[in-house]
Structure 1
Amino acid sequence: MQFSVCLVWLVTAVVAVRTQSTQGILDLVKRRLPDHVDIFEFRLTGNETFPISTAIRDINDEYTISSTPEGKILVEGNSAIALASGLHRYLADTVHVDIFWFIGSRLDTEPSNLPPLDQPISGSSIVPWRYHFNTVTFSYTSAFWTWEDWELELDWLALRGVNLPLAWVGQEKILVEAFRELGFNDAEINTYLSGPAFQAWNRFGNIQGSWGGDLPMEWIDDQFELQKNITKRMVDLGMTPVLPCFTGFIPMAITRVLPNATVVNGSAWNGFSTQYTNVTFLEPVDPAFEKLQISFISKQAEALGNITHFYTLDQYNENDPFSNSTDYLSGVSNNTMKSLKVADPDAIWLMQGWLFYSSSTFWTGPNVEAYLGGVSDNSDMLVLDLYSESQPQWNNARVKSYYGKPWIWCQLHDYGGNMGLYGQILNVTINPIEALANASSGSLVGFGLTMEGQEGNEIMYDLLLDQAWSESPIDTEAYFYNWVTRRYSGNGPIPSDLYTAWDMMRTTVYNNTNVTTQAVSKSVFELSPNITAILGRTGHHATAVTYDPSTLTDAWHLMYSATTSNPSLWDNPAFQYDMVDVTRQVFSNNFNVVYSSLISAYKYPSGSTNSTIATLSQNLTSLLSTLDSVLLTNPSFSLSTWINAARSQTDNTTLQSFYEYNARNQITLWGPNGEINDYASKSWGGLVSGYYIPRWEIFGQYLTEVPFVNYNATVLSKRLLDFEEGWQNGTSVQKVGVQENLKSILGDIM
């Protein structure tokens, strides 16, 4: 073990700086603009190396774009990621093309001759770090991603200037090796690790074990090979990855391996039984903690290279500490930091600040100060203010700008991959600029995206990342106009109706100022049917509509009418996606109206009959059936895409069924017994027809059988659960891919 310590000290001392290269950006151009490789020239300015060993960088990224006498587009910058940002600025603002989630790269819609620049264009970031990813995004969104999916994501990140991405994929490989080295057997490790769609919460110490089967080594090995590709590409593109380390969570069999180990049990989480929660925590004061830290970080460095000094480490995410003693809390963080420094002398501890919001009762001012104060050197820690746009903690009297620790202003925005149209354009443009100017937030060093699920509303994430390059709040009217221009590029002139529709959404859908509703909403029809407490919800299960639904309907009609003047829009993948997405939201809003009519007729009959209830119930399911047809026109809105991605991870049919069960369970029951039921629900074709419609049919049938005075929610829930549990074990998706033509379906609806 002493040799491992020396090895890590040696290699980290050498890589306090990284040599920069333009090759990664050139390779990006080859991937996305193969016909124009020779027209671009990239040049690094200043030093060829840059520091990666401090959270408080005082160097902002800068670029300049110009045309050379030889007719080339020259991009100069002080870092590789500055070059990527400059390239994006030219492509987005001058050529009007871009790369998008779901839709893919639209950079190939550029003209055959790229336009020269009359005057150079310069840009500079206003913060040194631009961060991306929430730990749970790796389960809600990218659990079953392929390398092709990751390539698109990483190019998207690079072009938008992200230089500090989280890289969680495949960490179980290193963890297994470290646990084996300590003396755990594979059976003990298997009962600790969680399934593919739930690994994030195992990494957080919220859950342990897996329902439906054990995590196979085949998955662990394959994911780590993927991680090697991901981290190499991150480095090639000029990013500094944030890597995992040992957090302290450990199999309960630690008491067999080390009978005298100092361990405690974490708190219960979200109603899970003790079989799956109360995760064992090895106290950092125990010598085994440091041994595991050294083992983990040295093995990871050997496999991936010495590519970073940033380590993600969250010990109390929705998991209260064993003691509220300030001495205990400072001791935990102090010894945790010591273990990191022994393993890597330049280590920087990155943690999510979510705990100070979600567990605010525990995290009093003294407790926050004690835990953060255990890390004596402020530059050794970097905190993500995870929910800055709605619930900023940095300016909370308890948190006090994290007591001098560097921190990043983040937009959370989306829980569980919920799909409602939603945004807070004022909060993500004005607030971060005000925070940067605030004297008490002098340790603000970055802006970041920390959505739980990367689902839709892409413009809101572009907006914040672009705000990181503007000293004043972005003019959202001009921004939306330019974004629409490049989003629908490649299919002729863009009709004015499209610009008008998006501007209507800018001032309504994307301009929520209601402080009680702070995140993306989900559709009511995705929730387990009930006669109360479904409409107008706020919080994690938000269903509240924060704008006049008729405004969105008007925008929807304008988008459709745009195809009259430019029919080729029907062939534009961005337009196809957006028409499905807006249609989905319009139908979701209409469902609320029909549902309200049904409940009103049920609660206050005044002449209503069972026939009336049956008819209104049929109206609900008919609306959902039509929506299902719309959703199935686009693979991005299809259950089959999610399920097929899970099954394609292996050729082993037994494992395929296990992965599919994981995929199905996450988006429905979320737990073996519905512990977080419908939290990660999705408006997907196939899921609407195969899961939501049957639930509403069960609900409607119950209402016709039982009068309101005899309504029993427990009886209804049991009927629904019987169906839901059966659906989890399905092994095929009936409708795969595009089923019908979007144009013809909408033609019948409009």
Structure 2
Amino acid sequence: MLHNFAGNVEMYGFLDSVGSGPVEARVSKNSTMVGVGMSMEGIEQNPVVYDLMSEMAFQHNKIDVMKWVDSYSSRRYGKFVPSLQEAWNILYHTVYNCTDGAYDKNRDVIVAFPDVDPTVYSINRFSTKKSLKDEDEPFDKPHLWYSTSEVIRALKLFIEGGKELSRSNTYRYDLVDLTRQALAKYANDLFLDVIEAYESRDSYSVAYLSEKFLDLVDDMDALLASHEGFLLGPWLESSKQLAVDKEQEKQYEWNARTQITMWFDNTEEEASLLRDYGNKYWSGLLRDYYGPRAAIYFKYLKESLATGDRFNLQGWRREWIKLTNEWQNGRYVYPVKSEGDALSISQRLFDKYLYDSGINDH
């Protein structure tokens, strides 16, 4: 199973395929299959996918995935909570039912900000879902294969069950991840709202919506900080621990910072083709890199409207690449322990952004 690339953080999978594919392969005509394996570029995300795939090594028959999911929350959290069982059934039919055959590489706007002139966007205003039109775009569009409103409903159920499970580390991990997933898709739509306002030459809305986007990034950083599974600090500290002296420590930290941002073959005005390949939703990275990067782009949008000039694409690129290189060379020590209450933060952000968000559905 090749499920994940570069350790990107994205709730994604096709559980029905996992629960049947290995058995079908084993019993197929002329099969030479002798075992089950996983060959992902990154792990430590989507534990439900890896739980099921690991179990398939011991199964002689296909699994009834619906039945398996029904009991999953009890096994994972150590307690049966009806709202969590219902939530996982929703997730099974949405984020974990990706049947479109598309290659999933997280290109959410926050973690993979489009490096394009805003005039290249073609926003479809004649659909119930605001989206980019189907024409080829000079950037990778975010992948969306499920009903966002259904996932928001699952999140509501997760939060409702929180009082009974707030002591469970696995529950808190899943809660933070699901809240992050819902907010990330909300951010994609919010970015399109900014672009639509720019196309309409609406300076007030561009300013208001771009600040709302940046506020959301900061809020998501605080959310991610509430669980140790979403921290930048452990990644950087583990790299430094491999060093034998201070000079090597500095080099290893630079390597770790570069791997998750922009690989070092850029010029002052041309970004690396391998930018954001290893993007991560990690606390610290949103606050100090993804947020400031988006702020630069929005600054040039507002300047374009104020002066009447075209969007300064080269100016944006120079500042973005400069920000990237400075962050890569930084030595700020990020926390390795979580901070904040995941349940209360998730509830607050749900109420702030998703309770009546009007998010465009799939």
TM-score range, shorter chain: 0.7 to 0.9
Distance 1:533 1:671, change over 3 A: farther
Distance 1:649 1:482, change over 3 A: same
**Cα offsets for 1:175-233 (capped at 9, x unmatched):** xxxxxxxxxxxxxxxxxxxxxxxxxxxxxxxxxxxxxxxxxxxxxxxxxxxxxxxxxxx
Counterpart selection for 2:191 from 595, 619, 625: 595
CA RMSD of aligned residues (A): 2.4
Q: Which residue of 1 aligns with 2:356?
A: none
- Is 1:631–2:224 an aligned residue pair? yes
Amino acid at match of 1:668: T
**Cα offsets for 1:611-646 (capped at 9, x unmatched):** 321111101000111110010111210111111111
- Is 1:452–2:41 an aligned residue pair? yes
Q: Which residue of 2 aligns with 1:49?
A: none
Residue 709 of structure 1 and its aligned partner are, at CA, apart by 6.7
Asked whether the equivalents of residues 11 and 181 of structure 2 are also in contact (C-alpha less than 8 Å), the reply is: yes
- Segments of structure 1 that go 5 or more residues without pairing to the other structure are 1-410
Report the structure number with the largest CA radius of gyration. Answer: 1
Give the distance between the partners of 2:32 and 2:334, measured in 1 at CA.
53
**3-state SS in 2 of match to 1:524:** coil
Counterpart selection for 1:694 from 292, 296, 308: 292
**3-state SS in 2 of match to 1:582:** helix
Q: Counterparts in 2 of 1:22-33, with a 5 A limit?
A: none
Q: Counterparts in 2 of 1:63-142, with a 5 A limit?
A: none
Amino acid at match of 2:332: S
Q: Which residue of 2 aligns with 1:243?
A: none
Asked whether the equivalents of residues 423 and 520 of structure 1 are also in contact (C-alpha less than 8 Å), the reply is: no
Give the distance between the partners of 2:275 and 2:49, measured in 1 at CA.
27
Distance 1:542 1:414, change over 3 A: farther
Q: Counterparts in 2 of 1:323-342, with a 5 A limit?
A: none
Asked whether the equivalents of residues 104 and 143 of structure 2 are also in contact (C-alpha less than 8 Å), the reply is: no
Counterpart selection for 1:545 from 134, 144, 161: 144
- Is 1:438–2:38 an aligned residue pair? no
- Segments of structure 2 that go 5 or more residues without pairing to the other structure are 123-130, 267-271, 352-362
Distance 1:438 1:651, change over 3 A: closer
**3-state SS in 2 of match to 1:678:** coil
Q: Which residue of 2 aligns with 1:585?
A: 181
- Is 1:518–2:103 an aligned residue pair? yes
Q: Counterparts in 2 of 1:201-220, with a 5 A limit?
A: none
Q: Which residue of 2 aligns with 1:731?
A: 331
Distance 1:594 1:434, change over 3 A: same
Residue 675 of structure 1 and its aligned partner are, at CA, apart by 4.1
- Is 1:558–2:154 an aligned residue pair? no
Give the distance between the partners of 2:229 and 2:19, measured in 1 at CA.
29
- Is 1:684–2:282 an aligned residue pair? yes
TM-score w.r.t. the length of structure 1 is 0.42
Residue 681 of structure 1 and its aligned partner are, at CA, apart by 0.3
Give the distance between the partners of 1:542 and 1:427, measured in 2 at CA.
25
Counterpart selection for 1:662 from 243, 249, 255: 255
Give the distance between the partners of 2:256 and 2:339, measured in 1 at CA.
22
Asked whether the equivalents of residues 224 and 282 of structure 2 are also in contact (C-alpha less than 8 Å), the reply is: yes
Q: Which has the higher helix share?
A: 2
Give the distance between the partners of 1:520 and 1:502, measured in 2 at CA.
23
Q: Which residue of 2 aligns with 1:475?
A: 64
Q: Which residue of 2 aligns with 1:120?
A: none
Asked whether the equivalents of residues 3 and 13 of structure 2 are also in contact (C-alpha less than 8 Å), the reply is: yes
TM-score w.r.t. the length of structure 2 is 0.84
**3-state SS in 2 of match to 1:593:** helix
Counterpart selection for 2:113 from 519, 528, 544: 528
Counterpart selection for 2:314 from 698, 714, 717: 714
Residue 726 of structure 1 and its aligned partner are, at CA, apart by 1.1
Residue 684 of structure 1 and its aligned partner are, at CA, apart by 0.4
Asked whether the equivalents of residues 624 and 689 of structure 1 are also in contact (C-alpha less than 8 Å), the reply is: yes
Residue 671 of structure 1 and its aligned partner are, at CA, apart by 2.8
- Is 1:420–2:10 an aligned residue pair? yes
**Cα offsets for 1:409-456 (capped at 9, x unmatched):** xx111111111100012222333333323214x222222111111031
**3-state SS in 2 of match to 1:557:** helix
**3-state SS in 2 of match to 1:435:** helix
Asked whether the equivalents of residues 159 and 343 of structure 2 are also in contact (C-alpha less than 8 Å), the reply is: no
The percent identity for this pair of structures is 29
**Cα offsets for 1:299-348 (capped at 9, x unmatched):** xxxxxxxxxxxxxxxxxxxxxxxxxxxxxxxxxxxxxxxxxxxxxxxxxx
Give the distance between the partners of 1:690 and 1:520, measured in 2 at CA.
23
Residue 520 of structure 1 and its aligned partner are, at CA, apart by 5.2
Give the distance between the partners of 1:656 and 1:691, measured in 2 at CA.
21
Q: Which residue of 1 aligns with 2:91?
A: 505
